[in-house]
Amino acid sequence: MWFGPSPVVTITNPEDIKEVFSNISVFEKVASNPLAKLLITGLIGYNGEKWLKHRRIINPAFHLEKLKLMLPAFYESCNEMVKKCVRLVNENESGCCEMDMSPFFQTMTSDVISRTAFGSSYEEGQQIFQLQSEQVLLTLKVLRSVYIPGWRFVPTKLNRRLKEIEKEIQVLVRGIIHKREKASKAREAPSGDLLDILLESNRREIKDSGDNKDMGMSIEDVIKECKLFYVAGQETISGLLNWTIVLLCKHPNWQSRAREEVFQVFGNQTPDYDGLNRLKLVSMILYEVLRLYPSTPVLTRVVAKDTKLGNLRLPVGTRVGIPVIMIQQDSQLWGEDAKEFKPQRFSEGISKATKNQGSYVPFAWGPRICPGQNFALLEAKMALSLILQNFSFELSPSYAHAPFSVLTLRPQHGTHVILRKL
């Protein structure tokens, strides 16, 4: 098919998909339009040496040992959400309450990012993410209209506000970074949050290159990565939790089994890191949700130099589309029950379920696999464990199933459920 002036080839063969994700020097990320760059920025949009440098600097922030230290922040944010839900249920004499969980998940995931990215500057982090939330909403208004190639910021009221928000975010993040740099020079103890880890990794990169600052990230680069933390962390994880609640409402037997596992591992105690890693059924459920409702339904790459893919010859500039949601529900790859919710298909792990094919790619695959996937799954497990410890839930009659994709795959009309306190 053609996307404006660009030819697009859609591929579904798992071996071809693995080749596209593996050969990142030939199959590069597509440049975003100017508007999308306000939100989708940083590592996710880079290619070549710049991507390699940023990935190397960012990776330490998502090592498992670092994630383990972030668990109290996960718990605090998730527990605040659960307490709000408990209060709403208790206010109702019937012992249950109908509510839309979608805004609760959005607030919770934003709060987690504020705590983990800017722990010692939490209040400033909240200001940044409130501005970012406004920026997302305004940008989505424009993205829902038809995008015209060559689009530029014309001085409309909405576009002026987008520019103002961007400046405010830059000033706030820059201020936090300067404070951290001063604290580092004064040899104060680091906060241990994502920003500190990122800045320390950046300093090490510069030092290892003989104090060549060009080998590290600029402040502008760091600001972009902080913004990416927000969009990737908030949008992706809130979507995963929404779809998980929907599917556990539709399949109460799996909801009961997951709750039983959570109580078996934790009882009524606070979930801990080792216990979360022992939640086999909960992990299977999350894998299956990501299979049926991946955050990004379609991934696109562009051919950087003439190449051959399978029996296709692809010239420079050709786009390659990978329809993740279609591949992950392909009956030829997954069996006749491919469109059904069956977490047991992951009982022996992802590799056994997929037979090592490139047929399960919710976080992409190969060198560019999402570095934050363990962060996302750990946060989702924490939130789901606390919800299952406190509530049973079912879909409200007002729930309307309407998945739609803007930035990520989300429920268009919210996630309306009936919560019952256990």
pLDDT tens-digit readout, 10-41: 999 999 999 999 999 999 998 776 666 766 77
Residue identified by tokens 């190969």 is: 366
DSSP E strand boundaries for 235-378:
299-303, 307-309, 312-314, 319-322
Q: How confident is the model at residue 144 (pLDDT cuts 50, 70, 90)?
A: low
Condensed to tens digits (0 to 9), the pLDDT of residues 100-119 reads 999 999 999 989 988 898 88
Angle at 151 between CA 150 and CA 152, to 5 degrees: 115
Q: For the chain, give me the number of helices (H) and strands (E)?
A: 16, 12
Task: Kindly list the distances between the CA atom of residue 393 and the CA atoms of 84, 266, 360, in Å, as whole numbers in the listed order.
Answer: 16, 20, 29
Q: Kind and range of the H or E element at 79?
A: helix 64-90
Residue 363 has pLDDT above 90, yes or no: yes
Q: How confident is the model at residue 268 (pLDDT cuts 50, 70, 90)?
A: very high
Residue 266 has pLDDT above 60, yes or no: yes
- Non-local (6+) Cβ contacts of 255 within 8 A are 248, 249, 388, 392, 393
Judge if pTM exceeds 0.75.
yes
- Non-local (6+) Cβ contacts of 148 within 8 A are none
Q: Report the SS3 class of residue 364.
A: strand
Condensed to tens digits (0 to 9), the pLDDT of residues 157-182 reads 877 888 898 889 889 888 888 888 88
Percent of the chain beyond pLDDT 90? 60
- Domains and their CATH numbers in the chain: 31-295+362-421 (1.10.630.10)
Q: Kind and range of the H or E element at 202?
A: helix 194-208
